Structure 1
Amino acid sequence: MFSILDTNTSQNHYFGMSSGILNQLPFNEIIKSIPEQHHLDGPFNLYFSTHHPDSSETALIIMQSSPIQNMYVTLNAKEMDIQSRMSTLHRHDFYELMFVIDGDIYQNIENLRHYYPQGSCCLMNKNVFHQEEYGGYHRIAFLQFSEEYLLQLMEAPRYFTKKENIKSNLFNDFLNINHKKNYFSDKNYIDFIPLETPMWIDQNIHDRFEKILWEIQSPSMGSTFRINAMMLELISLLFDNKHYHNTPLHFTSSAEQELFDSITRFLVQHNGRVSRKELETHFHYSGDYLYKITQKFTGLSLFDYGMKFCMQKACDLLITTAMPIADICQQLSFSNQTYFFKKFKEYHGMSPAKYRKLNRLQN
């Protein structure tokens, strides 16, 4: 069995294992698909990330594998810098379990910085705002579940009920509360602090991630049932207080959170091109206060946060329409075409014309 995202593993290794179904994506596709992966297609997804801060050519290696598709991408130092500047606090429409395979990482969770060393885990519900910090070397696995899949997994028939039930009430409560409430503002997550040795974690936690990956990459008769069994084994081990200390954390809804969500929706509706006066008129708050709220939740100014949506809209128009670039500038309220080119290159590392050409070649 290979080691997930081993630092010496080559791209060809992944292609060879997946019989050619893994796709190497160009950087412009990475920018669209990696920084904020809010939506999950399918029941579950495995997402691996390896950060090499000292490597200029392969600063970040990403591998994604699910029953629907497989993907392999690499970012050099310059591309990763662009990706990092575009990335903001985000949330998902699925549950996400993060496992630190090697190294360590900080996560910004609801504007609080949390440290996760090797062997530790974190399980988040769908509403928690978070962002990984790519500082030092690390290898991380993200196991992402749809709510439907987790409920089916827990409610599937058991022949040996007492032996097969997950003993932890904490996990059942976590799932039931989130399923029943499912409120936009309900936020909770669980930290897992390892009580075992690194060798035990490698043989029991890491090993199950690898076996699940193997079944996804090389499916055969019974793979669905083997994956489901390993998912349950993994959950059971993490919630066993002999192996991990579980710390549940909960955030209550706040007026600031709701205002920020409204600001985000308003910016999306207007492609990020909204004046300070328009925001003040719409929300009946001072521009300074709206700036403060946006910076608190994203670390960005109102202008930079809006520009992120503007550049996303520019990409959509370049790919899906034949509009001249001058008309796109006008539609996105840029009076100066040179300034539009400058901002686009800051976000995507290339000119709008080159971006359009590359995407047309891909499509």
Structure 2
Amino acid sequence: MTNDPFSELHSANTEIPQIRTHSPIAIFYKQKIGEKILYTKVQDGEISAFEDEEYHALHKNQNFELMYVLHGELTNFIEDKEYLFHAGEGCLLNTQILHREILSDGCNVVFLNLSPALLRDLFANDSGDGPIFQFLQQNLQSDAQWKRSYIEFSPCLPYQSEGFHVIIDSLQLEVATSKIGRSYFQRGLILRLLDALENANQFTLQQIDLDLSKEDYLVNRVIHLIESRFGNISRKEIEAALHYNPEYLNRLLKRQTKMTIATYAQMIRTQKAQQLLNTTDLTIQLIAERLGFSSEAYFYHYFKKQTGFSPNQYRQKFKL
């Protein structure tokens, strides 16, 4: 990235660039337009934008970074692994993770950078007790400064959370303003955003520890792939994503969960169908489409076989 007015790349070790911002809260947007990237930064009451080449170097961040895909998809290279993130998915990285992103054409993604000092100040007065807050608090401890870990999140139902987008938009407005009281609104919205990520009706979370054993790491990856695709994923697709033999992955998953990939995927797909029937007014046809069934008739057959109820019977009996 040449003449980047948004952040300064610096490093004590020239082989590991580190992106540093100069305020406790900074929001960056990246949008792929043809061969160029449109960069937009919101920080300290100002909005700036410029167009440049995509920055391809593996780097760390001085601050915690929350990435969220607004539209399209991107490939995130985290350490030596490659992951595909779709709209509605994202991750929260600590300061020890080497990473870089490659956006697909039309992709739009937002990055929220939060300084450790800001988070310590926030948590001294108000904090949740779920996995996001625990992850941040653990990583703020001095003995965690070398841990390589992050959290992946994906929508627990096959559509994006409008409420989460409203919080992001509201936070952007408060970071962009110079009006009195902005810091109080910013801090409140950050807490609301982190709390929204912990809403089990909106997001599925998984903490990834890169220093885990190979087996534990791969099982975690398989589980996350199945859950993030609502059970609608084949062994071939898992093989393509993880670059491991599917029979090997199947054995690892069965060893730890007592379920094969196919059985685990069926369980997740059924759970998502039950959740949509319980908590929404979506038609049966639309639920079938969103969960990737080839037809409404096949969905009826599948659901009845898994639960003993037809979708309509299940909704009538269990709808919240």
Aligned position for 1:118: 87
Offset from partner CA, 1:34-70 (integer Å, 9 cap, x none): 77662121211000001123xx6xx211101112754
- Counterpart pick for 1:41 among 8, 12, 22: 22
For structure 2, the 5+ residue unaligned runs are 10-16, 214-320
Aligned position for 1:187: 148
Matched, 1:166 2:101: no
Do the aligned residues in 1 keep the contact of 2:73 with 2:104 (CA within 8 Å)?
no
Distance 1:51 1:191 in 2: 22
Percent identity over the alignment? 18
Question: Which runs of structure 2 are paired with 1:197-276 in the superposition (5 Å)?
Answer: 197-198=158-159, 201=161, 203-252=162-211
Aligned position for 1:30: 4
Matched residue SS, 2:20: coil
Matched, 1:50 2:27: no
Matched, 1:91 2:91: no
Q: CA 1:223–1:251 in 2, change beyond 3 Å: closer, same or farther?
A: same
Shift of 1:147: 0.5
Distance 1:68 1:32 in 2: 14
Q: CA 1:32–1:177 in 2, change beyond 3 Å: closer, same or farther?
A: closer
Matched residue SS, 1:29: coil
Aligned position for 1:272: none
Matched, 1:107 2:66: no
For structure 1, the 5+ residue unaligned runs are 1-26, 159-164, 255-363
Matched, 1:61 2:20: no
TM-score normalised by L of structure 1:
0.52
Superposed CA RMSD: 2.6
Greater fraction helix: 1
Shift of 1:129: 0.5
Question: Relative to structure 2, which stretch is displaced further, 125-134 or 35-44?
Answer: 35-44
Aligned position for 2:114: 145
Aligned length: 206
Greater relative CO, 1 or 2 (CA 8 Å, sep 6+): 1
Shift of 1:176: 2.5
Q: CA 1:218–1:187 in 2, change beyond 3 Å: closer, same or farther?
A: same
Aligned position for 1:353: none
Name the amino acid aligned to 1:116.
F
Do the aligned residues in 2 keep the contact of 1:186 with 1:253 (CA within 8 Å)?
no
Name the amino acid aligned to 1:224.
S
Distance 1:147 1:34 in 2: 18
Name the amino acid aligned to 1:67.
D
Aligned position for 1:154: 123
Do the aligned residues in 2 keep the contact of 1:42 with 1:68 (CA within 8 Å)?
no
Report runs of 4+ in structure 1 exceeding 4 Å deviation: 31-37
Distance 1:236 1:176 in 2: 14
Offset from partner CA, 1:138-178 (integer Å, 9 cap, x none): 1000000000101111222x5xxxxxx5241x123212221
Offset from partner CA, 1:82-120 (integer Å, 9 cap, x none): x54xx3211111100001001111100011001111001
Do the aligned residues in 2 keep the contact of 1:94 with 1:147 (CA within 8 Å)?
yes
Q: CA 1:33–1:39 in 2, change beyond 3 Å: closer, same or farther?
A: closer
Which of structures 1 and 2 has the bigger CA Rg?
A: 1
